[in-house]
Copies of this chain bind each other. A is one copy, B any other.
Amino acid sequence: MPAAKTLPGTEGDADTAAPAFSPLYQQIKGLLMRSLTLGEWKAGEALPAETELAQRFKVSQGTVRKALDALTADGLLVRRQGKGTFVATHSEAQVQYRFLRLMPDHGPREAMQRRFLDFRRLRAPADIARALALKAGDGVLQLRRLLLAGDTPVVLDDIWLNARLFKGLTAGRLQAYRGPMYGLFEAEFGVQMIRAEEKIRAVAAGEAEAALLGAAAGSPLLLVERRSFTYADRPVELRRGLYRTEAHYYRNELS
């Protein structure tokens, strides 16, 4: 009966050339996404039960379920039978460190130690600004840190953050926080990293980087440039990591 059913508040999506047809569950998905964006449910919190959402949106439970399943497949939600549906989080995630692909050659993934080297606020250079969709000169936070496996440095990260979203972030706060950095961003600033793009290259270590990593100048390093996005595909973090890969590798799965 609800053939061409359309939810109120979803018709004005005249983005680019009418999509011709949008199934109900897609519209529900959009509404749920909007609620997530607006912070109605925060990282780690539970959503209302399926039946409740079905009432709220005036559709059948099956349709809500399909929307929730889609968001789960996108990595935005986590479903736990018997308990509920939860907003995905980088803390206490089933797999800690969702975005870290570095693996040791031997043995299981070890927890690496962090050491913060630098933290400052500055005006974004052109390339950083472009990557973060800012205007050149907008404020960014820049930080540099080392990840160590045992006593040997493995990763040197330079990180740039949109300063407007992380007001009040300090070196001390970073130092003190236990758990993934993205967990802190969720908990303290309400900024959730949803997805990221990485560009990977091989480069020769410069003098300064080599010294910090305890490697020879000119030795080959993996350069991993990551751009991370929150809701609505808004870029909020740029990261340039230099990885030593003598005893570790970057893992990837293709399918």
- Taking a contact as CB atoms under 8 Å apart, the answer to whether A220 and B202 are in contact is yes
Instruction: State A255–B194 Cα separation when bound (angstroms).
Output: 6
On chain B, the residues within 8 Å of A75 by CB distance are 255
- Say whether A253 faces chain B, with CB atoms less than 8 Å apart: yes
Within 8 A of B (CB), among A112-151: none
Task: Select which of B99, B101, B220 is within 8 A of A221 by beta carbon.
Answer: B220
**Chain B residues, CB < 8 A from A103:** 199
Q: Smallest Cβ distance from A244 to chain B, in angstroms?
A: 8
- Which residue of chain B has its CB nearest to the CB of A88? B255
Nearest B residue (CB) for A226:
B254
Whether A195 is near chain B, meaning CB under 8 Å from some CB there, is yes
Docked complex Cα distance between A103 and B218 (Å): 25
Q: Kindly list chain B residues whose C-beta atoms are within 8 Å of the C-beta of A189.
A: none
From B197, B202, B203, B251, A197 is in contact (CB under 8 Å) with B251
> Is A73 located at the chain interface by the 8 A CB criterion?
yes
- Given that A252-B252, A254-B98 are contacting pairs, would A200 and B200 also be in contact in the complex, using a CB cutoff of 8 Å? yes
| Contact of A207 with B by CB under 8 A | no
The count of identical subunits is 2
Does A33 count as interface, using CB distance less than 8 angstroms? no
Instruction: Write out the residue numbers on chain B whose beta carbons fall within 8 Å of the beta carbon of A200.
Output: 200, 222, 245, 249-252
Contact: B199 with A202, CB < 8 Å? no
Q: Are A254 and B99 in contact (CB under 8 A)?
A: yes
CB pair B253 A202 closer than 8 Å: no
Cβ contact within 8 Å between A249 and B201: yes
Instruction: Decide if A31 is an interface residue (CB 8 Å cutoff).
Output: no
Q: Are B198 and A221 in contact (CB under 8 A)?
A: no
A204 at the interface (CB under 8 A from B): yes
Report Cα–Cα, A110/B245, bound state, in Å.
29
Q: Would you mind naming 20 contact pairs between A and B with Cβ atoms under 8 Å apart?
A: A74-B255, A194-B255, A196-B254, A197-B253, A198-B253, A199-B249, A199-B250, A199-B251, A200-B200, A200-B252, A201-B222, A201-B250, A202-B202, A202-B203, A202-B220, A202-B221, A203-B220, A204-B219, A204-B220, A220-B220
